[in-house]
Chains A and B, each alone.
Chain A
Amino acid sequence: MRKYFLAPLQVRQLATQPKLAVKPNHQWKSVVGLEVHAQISSTSKLFSGSGTTFGAPLNSAVSFFDASIPGTLPVLNRKCVESGIKTALALGCQVNEVSMFDRKHYFYADLPNGYQITQQRAALANNGKISFPVITPGTKVYYKSVKLLQLQLEQDSGKSLHDDELKRSLVDLNRAGLPLMELVFAPDLETGEEAASLVKELMLILRRLHTCSCKMEEGALRVDANISIHKTGEPLGVRTEVKNIGSVRSISQAISYEINRQIKQVAAGGIITNETRSWDADGRRTVAMRDKEVLQDYRFMPEPNLPPLHVNLKPGSQSTEDLISVAALSEEIPELPEHTRQRLVEHYKLNSETAIILVNEPILLEHFLNITKSLMDVPTKVVTNFLINDLLTYCNKINVDVEDCALSSTDLKDVLKSLHSEEINLQAARQLIELLHNNPKTDINTLIEQHNLQQISDLNTIESYCQQAINNQPTAAQQYRKGKTKALFALAGEVAKLSAQKANMKIVVQCLEKLLKD
């Protein structure tokens, strides 16, 4: 997921899976809409006082209400409402003064009530918007804006484990009643990459707000995609819904696959039926889900046990015991990712691509801000290059999340300081990343000493290396003298090899030029 932004890696991925790449097809237009379920970070559930710890012992975080024992009633969690409102505000929504709860009926064993409490007639907020950079390997970054139709609060269901052999389901109700916000986006997207970029941006926003952990692997953020195709100028086609998308990378793969599947199906004379499909991450395909062909009848009805939820929309108002002030919450909204990007571009004079990469990897941004604060004289370009080209590449190479990398901002600052003062060269700096990752909390001067990484800047030593290189590569020297300036690279490379990558290349180039001119 984090390697998403490294174009070369992504391209390599696609090369081994050619069927996933969308061929440019100008005849067909694809329409993609997303529904995102984000679990609100809270200590207790939406309507009951049981805990929300992920991976708690089976059926332990279950209250009588969650188990649907007759006579129990829902009491709304204040924090969940506040988190929902904060998220709505950050996404430019209009928060509704009065919102209501409804029952949506399903008959599943992991939903003991037989219904889910959600918001259908009057949601918490409507009419928002999310703007985000779209990063597609091989194309220029562009911005896309998608309308957020609705943000509603609702309960999660329990979890079922299906035991095919004994023909039974095992039900754990720990998840039943966890608070979710469902975000319904307008079908304004066209490709899988756009969808993945939207979710990536949404995750950055939710993490800044601390309203959702966004851990897709724990199911804290779930994405359903509605996909259809049509010819330009014709009405929209029949859509299918793809569920069970478990990672940001899967979003783009699943949607690209589904668009291609539909195009192929129609091209072969088939028709698309309105169905729910599931993403099979191992097989990299979408498969039809059984027993879903029947149009669901949810029999929505107002939730009789919960009066409407009122919020205070007056500017300058304060929250009271049972009335939350939207104005007071809007004061708590932190700087949002897009604002940070603009600040990086304006204040630190970074180009927008660099700003996007830094903001999309919160830990890199933290390193960048810490380093530039203490190393004022190092150009920001050197810092960002080092973080993105060297640190990020190293982490990807050893397949470690940048967040889990053992290097602290201070370590990186020390390395950059030595690099900038020409005590070490870039090769040594790269080696230091690896050494520091494997020996955390070691003083970098000790490491430089121990591994003999100091850069060789002594003129006499370099001159002898250069002379040796010229002797070793007489053809290159001759070519250079004849005017083929590129031949100097071969000689410089030879010096690097001779000096075990430790020579100061700036001086080497000057020295070589001088020697060859004589």
Chain B
Amino acid sequence: MLRFFPNLRFYCKSATKTEVHLVKQRVELNFKELQHPTKVPQVPVPTAFPDTTERDLEIDTKTIQLLERLSLVDLDSAEALATLKSSIQFADKIANINTDNVRPLYTVLESQQLQLRNDEVTEGDCRAEVLRNAKITDEDYYVSPPGNIPLEQTESQFDKN
């Protein structure tokens, strides 16, 4: 793959040539010989988490309005609201996991060195190409709807649900 994309940018050490070499080596390993080939359980594991999928859930109008604004998804239908509720019920399980004294893991690359780039201009000057993605342009500008217009919000919209 490297041969086809010589100008590809790399984002952390694992993608350097030596590492690619290592990956190749690993492919030749016999997985059956490994003591711990994977840590992912191969069969479902029963857990003691309470089932939250049936829990009663009330979402007030303000929260719905906030979610609509943030997600730009219209929740103004019984179906959409039901989907939202069931998503929340499903995800609520996570709140019952005990994470006391567990250091948060933000990324598995935590111990990797973040690769730094020299301060040189290597990209850009491709206006035609980036503007090609825009539906409307004007004199080399992208054209967008004006500002952040708050969605029309009335109480009555939600009453029917």
Contact = CB atoms under 8 A, between A and B. Distances in A.
A49 interface: yes
A66 B116 CA distance: 18
Nearest to B116: A78
A476 interface: no
Contact of A43 (B12, B120, B129): B120
Contacts of A43: 119-121
B120 A49 contact: yes
B110 A322 contact: no
A171 B141 contact: yes
A507 B103 CA distance: 84
B69 to A, nearest CB: 8
Nearest to A73: B11
B100 interface: no
Interface string A289-317: 00100100101001011111110000000
Please tell me the size bucket of the interface on B.
35 or more
B109 A307 contact: yes
A158 to B, nearest CB: 8
Given A76-B114, A291-B147, A322-B13, A170 B119 contact: no
Contact of A169 (B9, B11, B124, B146): B146
A73 B9 contact: yes
Interface residues of A, number: 61
B119 A44 contact: yes
Interface stretch (A142-150, A159-167, A279-287): A159-167
Contacts of B116: 75-78, 81, 321-322, 324
B142 A171 contact: yes
B143 interface: yes
B7 to A, nearest CB: 11
Interface in A54-105: 57-67, 69, 73-81, 100, 105
B113 A323 contact: yes
B35 interface: no
A78 B143 contact: no
Contacts of B150: 291, 294
A246 interface: no
A109 to B, nearest CB: 4
A170 B142 contact: yes
Contacts of A76: 114-117
A51 interface: yes
Interface in A168-198: 168-173
Interface stretch (B40-48, B74-82, B90-98, B132-140): B132-140
A179 to B, nearest CB: 9
A64 B123 contact: yes
A173 B127 CA distance: 10
Contact of B148 (A107, A306, A307): A107
Nearest to B124: A50
Given A58-B127, A322-B114, A302 B144 contact: no
B145 interface: yes
Contacts of B107: 302, 304, 307-308
Interface in A18-56: 42-44, 48-51
A108 interface: yes
B114 A78 contact: no
B59 interface: no
Contacts of B140: 57-59, 172
A59 to B, nearest CB: 5
Contacts of B22: none
Contact of B127 (A49, A59, A309): A59
A63 B72 CA distance: 27
A78 B119 contact: yes
Interface string B1-34: 0000000011111000000000000000000000
B73 interface: no
A74 B124 CA distance: 14
B38 to A, nearest CB: 22
A243 to B, nearest CB: 15
Contact of A63 (B113, B126, B131): B126
A69 B112 contact: no
Nearest to A63: B123
Contacts of A58: 127, 139-141
A61 B141 CA distance: 13
9 contacts: A51-B124, A58-B139, A69-B130, A109-B144, A109-B145, A173-B130, A305-B11, A307-B113, A322-B116
Given A49-B123, A291-B148, A299-B70, 5 more contacts: A60-B124, A63-B124, A79-B119, A160-B147, A291-B149
Interface of A: 42-44, 48-51, 57-67, 69, 73-81, 100, 105, 107-109, 160-164, 167-173, 291, 294, 297, 299, 302, 304-310, 321-324
Closest 3 CB pairs of A and B: A50-B124, A49-B122, A109-B144
